[in-house]
Amino acid sequence: MKKSSNIFKRLISIIANSLTDTVEYISEDHVIKVYLIFSIIPHLILKIYTEMYFSTLRSFFYNSFWVLSILGVAYFIKNKKIRNAALIFFLFISYALVFTNIMYYKWYESFTSLSLISQLGQLDDVSDGAAAILRPFDVIYWLIFITGIILLSVYAINSKKEYSATTLKKIRTAFLRTGLSMLIIGLCTLSGKQVSRLYKLWNRPYVVENYGIYTYHMSDLFKSVGMLRTQDVSETDYERFIQFVRNQNKEHTTNGMTNKFKGKNVIVIHAESVEQFLVNRTIDDQEITPYLNQFASEGYYFSNMYSQESVGTSSDTEFTFNTSLLPVNNGTIFLTHFNNNYVTTPKLLKEEGYFTMSMHGNNGSFWNRDIMHPSLGYDILLDRDFYHAEPEDLVGFGINDYKFYMQSIEYLKASNEPYYATLITLTNHTPFADVDKYTTYDEEGMPEPELTCGELESTSITCNYLKSAHYADWAFGQFLLKLEESRMLDETIVVLYGDHPANLPIDDMEVLIGHEMDRIEYKARQKVPFIIWSKDIKAPRTIDSPMGMVDAAPTIQNMLGIHNLFSLGNDMFNVNDNLVVFNNGDWTDGNIYYDDFRDDYYITNDEIDESVITEEYIEKRKKEASNVIDISNIINKYDIIEYYYDLKDKVKI
């Protein structure tokens, strides 16, 4: 016991002496002082941008470890000029890393990952969208960096200090020991649950808030590299998977919708960036989406739908819609898991004799669709090479919706029946900048008045979005009219879903909604429409129960007389208590929307008794959500469906 006490005292003494020496070297050397100050600034800016708590001491310890360790490494360099150049280089890397994450957070409310390197090929196609989120303070950010470089250079040039090899050793030893001390203190604050969060990286903002951006990226590095290795599923994970699938299939029962549309053609409209708030909304006494409004009123309209996408946005939604699985939370599933075997709606329908096809007015290589769509079960992908477009027909990333729809009809006519066709639209894509091409026309071919935006600034991105959505709605309406004229709707169901929210500025959304919102309410309102339409529907319905994109496939499949054993979601005509889970740990159950990062919630059910929302209530739901995320990650990570079918002695589900 006495020996342990002496070791502890010795450790405290070393830490205290190192800290004293570090403070002394900082106070005496302006180069070190400037470097430290300007190394801290980007982390403070990151916390401001992301609304993180400044009082999180744990991140201070971890950030201090990395900054002091970098300084310590720099002082291994004996040449003064090279050492100062190295400090400038390290400072640039720090600012670039934080800036990249700030830009990424603005769009995704998450942080970048090494696994996203495979997405670099998409940059040319999304550069306009990235430019749309730049703000004046982003320029100030880099002016701060330039100021730091100037001060660092001035002090370095004017400094008369020439450190001996012995002094350099003392300086780096002090910094490295103090940095290590910060790391030890940080590690001492960890609980088992926090270590799990650091390892799993579901909730990346939580990790950055508590461990700092450097520690986050180190954890992400290990996780991303781990994805490159082939890993066998453990017996425990496989048993969890089997048990979950058994429980899901116990609840699979027939209902009044079973086989309702069996044998029908299916046209799926992947409606780019169409949000639920557009449906039945008017502005300046104009309907924003008149055709969509009528379409919803004549079909089964699910008004409380969440798209559940991750950083893969549109491609994630295509994946989830077809597989009833969540996308990965580390990378983009279309780029990282295209070799996996999934049970999908197109594959199940092919077994029933369907011809399956997807259509898109952009390059087939975008989001790796030319590889992933066959993996999902599509017989053919008709990409931009299959469509004719004059320069004036191009909007944003590809052919405008009207031309796309009209030419797609010809491909539908030429297809073998029954068919399953997915049409991926493009016009309503950020940054909504081609306003002069959003002209709609009346029945006589005359241009209609341009949509006005009420209290919104006429040049705002949200006003442009409304005009873009109005055009996309008109093009969709012309598509339906042409299908009807060609008598192609008699034996066809049309399914439409919004692929993801448009991430419009919260200030503009407050104008549209009519009151101020915090971030959680903003997220709770980011819904997309989901509509199933057929001439055979005699009693249209609006279903207000909360649902996610994972629930779309089971709902449609039941109507078509097919079933996927490995669905995470539920048939919305079979479930009364549905939990919608996001792969960052957020969830909603129709009563509240819970934000895992902020550990807070927004009440979505005005009639709920708030006393019901207890700590036990939230913990129970969190546990359910955690299990769903785990199972989805197990399926994706280990290609477990392929593993299941490869087993000779399969357990019965």
What gap in Å lies between CA 601 and CA 587, rounded to an integer?
A: 10
Measure the N-to-C terminal CA separation of the chain; round to a whole number of Å.
56
Starting at the edge strand found earlier in the chain, the sheet holding 600-603 runs 580-581, 587-588, 592-595, 600-603
DSSP annotation of 456: S
Of all residues in the chain, what percent are helix, strand and coil, respectively (each to 5)? 55, 10, 35
**Nearest residue to 150 via CA among 99, 88, 68:** 88
Q: What are the angstrom distances between the C-alpha of 163 and each of 75, 195, 424, 640?
A: 10, 41, 64, 59
- List binding-site positions: 272, 429, 499-500
Amino acid code (one letter) for 375? S
What gap in Å lies between CA 333 and CA 357, rounded to an integer?
A: 20
Q: Could you tell me whether strands 580-581 and 547-548 are parallel, antiparallel, or unpaired per DSSP bridges?
A: unpaired
DSSP 43-98: HHHHHHHTT--TT-HHHHHHHHHHHHHHHHHHTT---HHHHHHHHHHHHHHHHHHH
Give the torsion through C-alpha atoms of 512, 514, 515, 518, to 10 deg: -20
Matching residue, tokens 């409310």? 109
**Nearest residue to 222 via CA among 246, 201, 191, 250:** 201
What gap in Å lies between CA 236 and CA 636, rounded to an integer?
A: 16
Amino acid code (one letter) for 193? K
| Contact by Cβ (8 Å): 215, 195 | no
Alpha helices in 201-312 (DSSP H): 204-228, 235-250, 290-297
Tell me the catalytic residues.
Answer: 314
Residues facing 380 on adjacent strands: 357
Residues facing 542 on adjacent strands: 301
- List binding-site positions for substrate: 429
